[in-house]
């Protein structure tokens, strides 16, 4: 038997080798006998793959043809850019089929990602989205957010693209140049790509020639409108240029003396001997849809929330994001500073260059608090484990560090009941007063896990459950007898799918979406607050955590006293509500100092 297997194995290997030799013979024959048609095939590939990538995300051929008629010059830009990339790949690989494979697979991958991302939450893909996290673990968790629906058109378009790549491989168009003849052309083509994307003067000129929409995206809706004008490929390229040209720069006269002179307010001493627990709950996608008047929403899902609000102080806050990018609101709460001063980057925590940045964490550490961060999700998402560890938290509790049962909500994410249990466990087990920030997960998209219910109906069930968990939390906090102040706020309105999108149904666009950047916030305490410190108008959410200092009678250092002083003239410093050139130099300077600069205003011992 062993002898038979030994004889069969070389025979199998021989047949496999013979098959590949036969394929290579066909390729060489095609290369030598089909020179003209191969040349045409090679030259037309960038046009083909641009059309396939755009067609794939448009889904319907008619939609793609309408774009071609409506925006022909933008399509020409796509072709030009594709030829530049194709040329670079040809020069580097020295093989036309290899260049076609890399560009074809790359373009179709981008197209599929765009299709899934927009179908999932109604927001279009940008290259900067990759900064969310690119580890295998993070990509796996990103896929849990996505609405991935494999359709017949998607399969057909991908197979056509792969089929063309395979056809080019078999036809084997010839391109073999020695390295010395490829280096300079490759450098020239790469330089052309880089200049179009990275050099503002050249970018602006090229985009103007081809009619690419360069309108600054002030909100998610204006970005989607830009996509309609540019379609996928030009949109990705232009938004990359926009981000690169909008890099954070060191403010003029950035010196220690100038920064410290900007901190004009005197420290405010404590007005109470009480050192209360301070709890900040940033509730995932918690929003009040009753404020969207065009929906005429009638529901009892907010009844418990209203009951809690009746026992609390309710204020209205402006948040810096919509439908996604939770870390933007999280940053504002943790730092008491605006994302606008970081040019509205989607991942402000990744801008931090200070080794030990000063924030709310360092402030409460300085008062002897036990500082705790709670987030019932994977620690690597958004790089939280690595970045937040520099803040100085005494304890960070991610899903694997929960000391209470991590129960799941119906959609598979950690329930708000579990987060409530964890918060209560920390409070009860800590000898020192606690400063705790919790970012929940329960109400994250998708909202499709209850059969026969619409997205908004499923979402409202989550609101109902979150409100009950909040009510239980304050009841049990009150029962502890420990002085406690709690801030509860949603990070943003929820993402909704492209299909049957409730925001489209309500008629929202870039001109009327302001209400979707406003959130109700509750401030509850079981002791008397300084109510004169409560804001009477809408404020940006970053003001809320410094405001808690005054409300609770805690000392306010000169830095946060200066921040709160700005509330008199800039109650809202959130981009959706302001013109691009409406800048607050104080905020921009102080934010730069604490995040990117030398942290001259820091509360830590340097």
Neighbours of 412 (CB within 10 A): 10
How many structural domains compose the chain?
2
Same domain, yes or no: 225 and 288: no
* Domain-terminating residue out of 245, 271, 294: 245
End residue of a domain, out of 193, 216, 245: 245
CB 455 within 8 A of CB 448: yes
Q: Is the domain of 182 the same as that of 313? A: no
**Are both 203 and 352 inside the same structural domain?**
no
What integer pLDDT is reported at residue 184 of this predicted model? 93
Together in a domain, 276 and 196: no
Q: What is the pLDDT of residues 137-146, one digit of tens each?
A: 544 555 555 5
User: Quick one: pLDDT at residue 282?
Assistant: 98
In a domain? residue 116: yes
**Has residue 224 been placed in a domain?**
yes
HSE-CB of 356 using CA atoms within 13 angstroms: 11
Tell me, yes or no, whether 304 and 205 share the same domain. Answer: no
Q: Residue 500: what pLDDT? A: 63
Same domain assignment for residues 193 and 290: no
Residues 455 and 335 both lie in one domain: yes
Task: Looking at the structure, tell me whether residues 277 and 365 fall in a common domain.
Answer: yes
Question: Quick check: is 1 in a domain?
Answer: no
Whether 269 has a pLDDT exceeding 70, the answer reads yes
Does one domain contain both 277 and 403? yes
Q: Are 261 and 106 in contact (CB under 8 A)?
A: no
Q: Of 210, 245, 280, which residue sits at a domain end?
A: 245
Residue 283 belongs to what H/E stretch? Answer: strand 277-283
Residue 261 has pLDDT above 90, yes or no: yes
Do 30 and 95 reside in the same domain of the chain? yes
Would the pLDDT of 71 be above 60?
yes
Peptide bond into 446 cis (omega under 30): yes
Q: Does residue 6 form part of some domain?
A: no
Tell me if 250 is assigned to some domain.
Answer: no
* Phi then psi dihedrals of residue 65, to 5 deg: -65, -35
What pLDDT score does 411 carry? 85
- Assess whether pLDDT exceeds 70 at residue 410: yes
Is residue 520 domain-resident? yes
Q: Is the pTM of this model over 0.85?
A: yes
Between 87 and 176, the more confident residue is 87
Residue 582's domain comprises 256-595
Tell me the pLDDT tens digit for each residue of 420-433.
Answer: 999 999 999 999 99
Name, in order, each residue with C-beta under 8 angstroms of 577's C-beta and a sequence gap of 6 or more: 318, 514, 517
Q: What is the pLDDT of residues 316-349, one digit of tens each?
A: 999 999 988 899 999 999 999 999 999 998 889 9
What residues contact residue 520 under an 8 Å CB cut-off, 6+ apart? Answer: 288, 309, 314, 315, 316, 317, 489, 490
Dihedral of CA atoms 377, 383, 387, 391 in degrees, nearest 10, equals: -20
Range with the largest mean pLDDT of 220-224, 248-252, 540-544: 540-544
Instruction: Assign residue 350 the CATH number of its domain.
Output: 3.40.720.10
227 and 286: one domain? no
Could you tell me if 540 and 242 are in contact, meaning their C-beta atoms sit under 8 angstroms apart? no
In a domain, 338, yes or no: yes
Task: Tell me if 235 is assigned to some domain.
Answer: yes
- Claim to verify: residue 225 and residue 287 sit in the same structural domain: no
């Amino acid at each position: 038997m062993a002898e038979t297997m030994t004889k069969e194995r070389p025979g199998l290997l021989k047949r496999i080798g013979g098959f590949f030799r036969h394929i290579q013979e066909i390729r060489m024959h095609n290369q030598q006998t089909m020179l003209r048609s191969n040349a045409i095939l090679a030259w037309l590939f960038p046009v083909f793959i641009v059309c396939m990538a755009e067609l794939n995300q448009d889904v319907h051929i008619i939609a793609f043809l309408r774009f071609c008629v409506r925006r022909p010059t933008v399509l020409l830009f796509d072709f030009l850019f594709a030829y530049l990339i194709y040329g670079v790949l040809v020069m580097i690989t020295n093989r036309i089929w290899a260049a076609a494979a890399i560009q074809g697979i790359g373009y179709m991958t981008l197209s599929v990602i765009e299709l899934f991302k927009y179908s999932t939450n109604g927001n279009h893909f940008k290259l900067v989205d990759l900064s969310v996290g690119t580890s295998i673990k993070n990509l796996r968790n990103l896929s849990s957010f996505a609405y991935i629906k494999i359709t017949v058109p998607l399969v057909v378009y991908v197979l056509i693209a792969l089929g063309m790549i395979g056809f080019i491989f078999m036809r084997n168009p010839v391109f073999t140049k020695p390295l010395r003849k490829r280096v300079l052309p490759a450098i020239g083509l790469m330089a052309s790509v880089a200049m179009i994307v990275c050099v503002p003067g050249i970018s602006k000129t090229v985009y103007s020639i081809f009619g690419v929409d360069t309108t600054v995206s002030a909100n998610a809706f204006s970005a989607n409108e830009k996509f309609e004008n540019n379609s996928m490929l030009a949109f990705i390229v232009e938004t990359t240029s926009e981000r690169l040209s909008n890099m954070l720069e060191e403010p003029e006269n950035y010196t220690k003396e100038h920064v410290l002179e900007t901190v004009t307010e005197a420290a405010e001493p404590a007005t109470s001997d009480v050192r209360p627990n301070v709890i900040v709950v940033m509730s995932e996608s918690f929003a009040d849809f009753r404020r969207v008047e065009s929906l005429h929403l009638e529901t009892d899902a907010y009844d418990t929330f209203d009951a809690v609000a009746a026992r609390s102080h309710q204020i209205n806050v402006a948040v810096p994001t919509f439908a996604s990018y939770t870390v933007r609101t999280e940053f504002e709460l943790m730092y008491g500073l605006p994302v606008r001063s970081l040019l509205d980057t989607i991942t402000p925590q990744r801008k931090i260059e200070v080794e030990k940045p000063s924030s709310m964490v360092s402030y409460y550490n300085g008062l002897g608090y036990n500082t705790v961060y709670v987030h019932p999700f994977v620690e690597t998402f958004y790089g939280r484990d690595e970045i937040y560890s520099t803040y100085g938290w005494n304890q960070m509790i991610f899903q694997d560090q929960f000391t209470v049962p991590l129960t799941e909500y119906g959609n598979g994410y950690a329930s708000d009941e579990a987060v409530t249990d964890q918060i209560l466990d920390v409070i009860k087990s800590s000898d020192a007063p606690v400063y705790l920030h919790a970012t929940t997960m329960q109400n994250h998209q998708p909202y499709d896990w209850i059969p026969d219910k619409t997205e908004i109906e499923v979402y409202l069930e989550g609101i109902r459950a979150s409100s009950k968990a909040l009510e239980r939390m304050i009841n049990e906090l009150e029962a502890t007898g420990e002085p406690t102040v709690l801030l509860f706020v949603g990070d943003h309105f929820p993402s909704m799918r492209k299909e049957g999108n409730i925001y489209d149904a309500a008629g929202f666009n870039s001109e009327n979406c302001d209400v979707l950047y406003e959130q109700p916030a509750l401030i509850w305490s079981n002791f008397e607050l300084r109510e004169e410190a409560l804001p009477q108008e809408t404020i940006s959410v970053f003001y809320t955590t410094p405001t808690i200092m005054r409300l609770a009678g805690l000392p306010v250092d000169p830095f946060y006293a200066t921040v709160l002083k700005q509330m008199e003239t800039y109650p809202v410093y959130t981009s959706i509500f302001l013109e691009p050139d409406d800048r607050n130099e104080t905020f921009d300077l102080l934010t730069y100092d604490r995040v990117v600069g030398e942290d001259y205003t820091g509360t830590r011992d340097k």
